Amino acid sequence: MDRVAGERRRRRPTKSGTVLSEAVIVECAVRLIGHHGAQALTVRRLGAALGCDPTAIYRYFRGTDDLLLAIADFLIGETLAGYRPGPDWVASLRELGLRVRDGYLRHPRVAAIAAARVTRRHHEFRAVELGVALLLSAGFSPADAVRYYRAFIDTVLAHAALEASFVALAPEVRAADDRSWQDIYHSLPGADYPAIGTVRAHLAAGMSGSPFEDVLDLLLESLARRV
């Protein structure tokens, strides 16, 4: 870092006594989104929460989109904390997928804005390295390792983000959605909806809760058959 950049980022406490850094700003932004949603992520609100002039944020990030990428990378970093792939590539990918889901459920409102982004940062680099290395160790060619890593991680992110978006709903909305499988679907006329009528007794149990692990296992079983 050159001397001018170092001066811009020197560690000086804010009015609230907080010493600014990229990590401090990201953690504050994650809390803001968690409490108030993505619309809360403005430089003005972030500055107020940190007790600093909003322009101080620009010493660390080029703008809110740059900050969003850092937030997405923060989630990946949480996912990878303590993760060590084992000799079984299927079990290791399964654990990675479950960790992604758990991270998104811890920060459901953040997940909605992070899932589709390419962060171009350290934690993402490490995640891609680990995932591709596992598929190479399974015997896939380099081209297939990339192809199937993309299929794996996009499926995991999509389903984890979908589950997180449901968790982010108000409790009464979630409860009403869950009840509909028993109250509404159970009462549909079988003549009009014969397939639903056939599975009526299984709808409430089968359509409530999370299908994430079933989807993950189906994907991994399919990959294992392609080696």
Residue 110 lies in a domain: yes
Examine the pLDDT at 101 and tell me if it is beyond 70: yes
* Helix 122-138 and helix 142-167, axial crossing angle in degrees, nearest 10: 130
DSSP 8-state symbol, 19: B
Question: What is the model's pTM?
Answer: 0.89
Residue 125 lies in a domain: yes
Residue 136 lies in a domain: yes
Residue 129 lies in a domain: yes
- Percent of the chain at pLDDT above 70? 93
Rounded distance between C-alpha atoms, residue 80 and residue 127, angstroms: 7
Residue 225 lies in a domain: no
Confidence (pLDDT) at 6: 45
Residue range 177-190, pLDDT digits in tens: 999 999 999 999 99
Residue range 129-159, pLDDT digits in tens: 999 999 999 999 999 999 999 999 999 999 9
The band of 11, judged by pLDDT with boundaries at 50, 70 and 90, is low
Residue 27 lies in a domain: no
Greater model confidence, 11 or 220 = 220
Residue 50 lies in a domain: no
CATH number of 166's domain: 1.10.357.10
Number of domains into which the chain is organized: 1
Q: How many beta carbons lie within 10 A of that of residue 171, not counting itself?
A: 8
Rounded distance between C-alpha atoms, residue 165 and residue 44, angstroms: 26
22 burial via Cβ count (<10 Å: 0-12, 13-18, 19+): middle
Q: How many beta carbons lie within 10 A of that of residue 67, not counting itself?
A: 21
Q: Which domain holds residue 93?
A: 62-170
Rg (CA), the chain: 22
Residue range 14-72, pLDDT digits in tens: 665 679 999 999 999 999 999 999 988 999 999 999 999 999 999 999 999 999 999 99
Examine the pLDDT at 2 and tell me if it is beyond 50: no
